Amino acid sequence: MEKIPYTNTSIYFDDSFSSLVKYIDLDFSNIFLIVDSIIYDLNPKKFYEYKNILVVESVEDSKSLTYLDTLIDKLLLLGCNRSSFIVGVGGGVISDITGFVASIYMRGVRFGFVPTTLLSITDASIGGKNGVNFKGIKNIIGTINEPEFLLIDFSFLKTLSDFELSNGYSEIIKHACISSNKLFSMLEKAEIAYKKNSFKEILKDSIKIKISVINNDLNEKNSRKLLNFGHTFGHAIEAKYKISHGEAISLGIILATNISIKFGYLNDNSAITRIINLLNKFNLPTDIKCYDKESLLYYITKDKKSKGKYIDFVVLNNIGDAEVKSILIDKILDE
């Protein structure tokens, strides 16, 4: 196990799930696990000792106020109180719900995550953003509240499908695009398989990029917005076309890169080809022809990043170098 330094959350990298109780230091009866249903079915023995387990299906519909009602009801029935500890074990759906419910239940209960997808390890479980969807708009209700710890146990990843592995790579590629030419080159040379030696190094680099961006700007006043690269269109595509987060972000990265070129920020002609090749290498979609920008307008104007007619849009100056620009929404759509 290696502890990745981070001010607000202890990150136990390459640890074992069996260490969980040690980090919480409470009796099993006071620990409440919110567990992805697939993870629970695949690893029943890991959960034997736990008394309070809420099994949740990881679908976007679980990220709703209606479903939170059910969850809060169960927590009350099981006797979860202000001295309890809630742990989310699963992917981004589970960490989003767990972080939100733990933040509002009894005005806040201690919580941590055991991320089990690549996407949640490298992105969703880091940084304290949590929340649910409302009327089809992604993550529009939530809080910023960081977990006490992340316990990353790679044995969970053995059962992750190739599709979900690819989804995770979209956020890793995003981190490389906004902040590290070195990570981008490592990814160009790497193999997709999760067992390869380079895999953990790539993950560690990706996590460190996210941490360093957040450390500079916890409340998303400024530099943290860089993490939204590819997400303005990505979230809109995800909401409208009901495709996976990773696929939508991949398409959002292409659209944002094209806009960076058209607005004159990105002048290196080889960059878009390298980005397309890298996304394709990890089996992520890059063909944006069937995604009409105009029809995504509704979702873009409802985006948390929009301010009336303007939106904070992340543009690339180069691979590894991005910045936030306030851009007229109409102008983006004209391009």
Choose which of 38, 104, 106, 243 interacts with ligand NAD (CB under 6 A): 38
Task: Round to whole Å and give the CA distance between 150 and 132.
Answer: 20
Choose which of 11, 34, 54, 160 interacts with ligand NAD (CB under 6 A): 160
By the rule CB under 6 A, 208 interacts with ligand NAD = no
Report the sign of the C-alpha dihedral through residues 262, 236, 100, 194, in that order: negative
| Residue of 248, 266, 249 whose CA lies nearest to 257 | 266
Of the residues 146, 164, 171, 238, only one is catalytic, namely 171
Task: Round to whole Å and give the CA distance between 83 and 72.
Answer: 16
Task: Round to whole Å and give the CA distance between 20 and 280.
Answer: 37
DSSP string, 75-126: HHHHT--TT-EEEEEESHHHHHHHHHHHHHGGG--EEEEEE-SHHIIIIITS
Question: b/e string for 321-333 if b means 16 or more Cβ within 10 A?
Answer: ebbbeebebeebe
| Residue of 111, 277, 247 whose CA lies nearest to 187 | 277
Q: Catalytic annotation on 175?
A: no
How would you class 1 by CB atoms within 10 Å of its CB: exposed for 0-12, middle for 13-18, buried for 19 or more?
exposed
By the rule CB under 6 A, 206 interacts with ligand NAD = no
Q: Catalytic annotation on 294?
A: no
By the rule CB under 6 A, 232 interacts with ligand NAD = no
Q: Per-residue string for binding with ligand NAD, 164-203, x by CB under 6 A?
A: x--x------------------------------------
Nearer to ligand NAD, 123 or 205 (CB): 123
- Which residue is nearest to ligand NAD, using beta carbons? 92
Of the residues 46, 63, 175, 245, only one is catalytic, namely 245
By the rule CB under 6 A, 156 interacts with ligand NAD = yes
By the rule CB under 6 A, 116 interacts with ligand NAD = yes
Task: Round to whole Å and give the CA distance between 48 and 120.
Answer: 24
- Of the candidate spans 45-53, 90-98, 102-110, 293-301, the one that interacts with ligand NAD by CB under 6 A turns out to be 90-98
Least distance to ligand NAD from the beta carbon of 101, Å?
A: 13
Nearer to ligand NAD, 91 or 252 (CB): 91
Task: Round to whole Å and give the CA distance between 84 and 107.
Answer: 13
Task: Round to whole Å and give the CA distance between 251 and 271.
Answer: 15
Least distance to ligand NAD from the beta carbon of 155, Å?
A: 9
Least distance to ligand NAD from the beta carbon of 227, Å?
A: 8
Choose which of 46, 129, 208, 210 interacts with ligand NAD (CB under 6 A): 129
By the rule CB under 6 A, 130 interacts with ligand NAD = yes
Q: Which residues bind ligand NAD (CB under 6 A)?
A: 36, 38-39, 58, 60, 63, 90-94, 96, 116-117, 119-120, 123-124, 127, 129-130, 138-139, 156-157, 159-160, 164, 167, 245
